[in-house]
Chain A
Amino acid sequence: MYSVNYHRANSVADAVKLLKTGDAKLLSGGMTLIPAMKTRLAAPSDLVDVSRIAALKGVKVSGKTVTIGAATTHYEVSTDAKLQKACPALAELASMIGDPAVRHRGTIGGSIANNDPAADYPAAMVALGATIVTNKREIAADKFFKGLFETVLKEGEIVTAVTFTAPAKAAYQKFRNPASRYAIVGVFVAKGKANGKDDVRVAVTGAGDDGVFRAKTIEVALAKSFDPAAVAGAKVSADGLMTDIHASADYRANLIGVMAKRAVAAANG
């Protein structure tokens, strides 16, 4: 690791100020950033640790509205009793990230700001129609994620929370790379309401050339009938899907259907 200056922020305002130092980067759980710095893929001059800011921590559920602070760890999300009731699919997703030691440190804000193309949370945020709250504005998840490791976040902008309306039904299914355990394909299915009508959203991670995306053909099929059998009729194109040594685009396209089917079955219980 190259030399770096560590700063611990006591508040979001403090973090914004510290971020102006040199080529500073935000540090939350550090489960991606520290390994990237060790291999010198990342070499910020300064680190601004936001993981101990109390205002960024915790899960709140009020009626159907769920708000999760950006510095809430995967472990905290997966074990929060209120969330397990309001949106068990998201708690379960959090329990499937990395391993127990990683979940004790990694945070939801860090994961979505990093936008790894195989990360789990982006799929949940998009499928839940979540809003990403920053110190400057609120951004719809559909617009937040831009491409590989890219979001619409600007300089000095810090994710402070995510918020969404708990859907009636939801589930996440992931087909893991057997070695890295990252998603080769992960599908989050949510059946909620939009403008008083049923709204089915299906978001896919691990498969897209540009990161997370919505599987619109499956959404249309599931809007008619929220049943695993309905997925069979929906064609998923391999265009824009990743091909690598683990899986071809065609294989991933097929897996999207398979994972969506399993997710709907799980959501229907």
Chain B
Amino acid sequence: MSDISLTVNGRQVRATVEDRTLLVHFLREHQGLTGTHVGCDTSQCGACVVHVDGKAMKSCSMLAAQVSGSTIVTIEGIANGADLHPVQAAFKEHHGLQCGFCTPGMIMSATDMIARHPEGLDEATVRVELEGNICRCTGYHNIVKAILAASQAMSKASKPKAKKAA
């Protein structure tokens, strides 16, 4: 057993876990944060993507003990109260989902992608960057559209004049 201490969505969390506990199980079963999904369970599909110290990672392929001391953000932690995060809003606006199972991972990967590309995104880049996220419903078209729209909205919002940022 390991005593772990980490920040989850801004909240300081302490727990004693079996060393083999995967981060995704810790989040879902110990923390009740079931927005992070287990899809393939083999680190291919990306439904389990969360941010660890600001970087997108697959929580099904990490131990909770490995991230003791780290800061975790899950899909539950990105909205600002009742205001959706711009990426969430764009997925809603552009209908970037059907069944919604892959969506939390898609959105966490998308926010990471947008942060790593302050120069902006084009369709080809988005598609390459989405390599680790699998959707079996939509054929990606609206997902890509949503990410491009969010990227634009966020770069506008980050300029001093605009006040649209969520």
Residues of A near B56 (CB, < 8 A) are 100-101, 104
Closest to B61 in A: A34
Listed by A's residue number, 14 A-B pairs whose Cβ atoms lie within 8 Å are A2-B20, A3-B20, A6-B66, A34-B61, A35-B43, A38-B22, A99-B131, A100-B131, A100-B132, A101-B46, A101-B49, A101-B56, A101-B132, A104-B56
Q: Are A102 and B129 in contact (CB under 8 A)?
A: no
* 10 A-B pairs closest in CB distance: A99-B132, A6-B19, A99-B131, A6-B65, A104-B55, A1-B20, A101-B56, A34-B61, A101-B58, A101-B132
Interface string of A105-136 (1 = CB under 8 A from B): 10000000000000000000000000000000
Q: Does B63 contact A (CB under 8 A)?
A: yes
Q: Does B89 contact A (CB under 8 A)?
A: no
Give chain B nearest CB distance to A23 CB in angstroms: 15
Q: Does B31 contact A (CB under 8 A)?
A: no
Q: Are A31 and B43 in contact (CB under 8 A)?
A: yes
Chain B interface residue count, CB cutoff 8 Å, equals 29
Q: Whole-angstrom distance between the alpha carbons of A99 and B116 in the complex? A: 14
Whether A104 contacts B65 in the complex (CB less than 8 A), given A1-B20, A6-B2, A98-B132, comes out as no
Q: Whole-angstrom distance between the alpha carbons of A1 and B25 in the complex? A: 13
In A82-97, which residues have CB < 8 Å from any B CB?
Answer: none
Q: Whole-angstrom distance between the alpha carbons of A27 and B20 in the complex? A: 13
Q: Can you name 11 extra interface pairs (CB under 8 A) apart from A6-B65, A101-B112?
A: A4-B19, A8-B68, A27-B66, A30-B61, A37-B20, A100-B113, A101-B56, A102-B43, A104-B55, A105-B58, A105-B62
Contact of B63 among A2, A3, A34, A102 (CB under 8 A): A34
Q: Does B80 contact A (CB under 8 A)?
A: no
Residues of B near A105 (CB, < 8 A) are 57-58, 61-62
Whether A102 contacts B66 in the complex (CB less than 8 A), given A3-B19, A4-B20, comes out as no
Closest to A180 in B: B44
Residues of A near B63 (CB, < 8 A) are 6, 30, 34, 47
Q: Whole-angstrom distance between the alpha carbons of A181 and B129 in the complex? A: 13
Whether A100 contacts B18 in the complex (CB less than 8 A), given A30-B61, A181-B131, comes out as no
Residues of B near A102 (CB, < 8 A) are 43, 58, 132
Whether A49 contacts B66 in the complex (CB less than 8 A), given A1-B20, A2-B20, A101-B49, comes out as yes
Q: Whole-angstrom distance between the alpha carbons of A107 and B42 in the complex? A: 18
| Secondary structure call for the B interface | mixed
Give chain A nearest CB distance to B133 CB in angstroms: 8
Interface string of A200-219 (1 = CB under 8 A from B): 00000000000000000000
In A9-46, which residues have CB < 8 Å from any B CB?
Answer: 27, 30-31, 34-35, 37-38
Give chain A nearest CB distance to B74 CB in angstroms: 14
Residues of B near A104 (CB, < 8 A) are 52, 55-57
Q: Whole-angstrom distance between the alpha carbons of A50 and B102 in the complex? A: 32
Interface string of B36-76 (1 = CB under 8 A from A): 00000111001001001001111001110110100000000
Q: Whole-angstrom distance between the alpha carbons of A102 and B65 in the complex? A: 18
Q: Are A3 and B18 in contact (CB under 8 A)?
A: yes
Residues of B near A31 (CB, < 8 A) are 43, 61
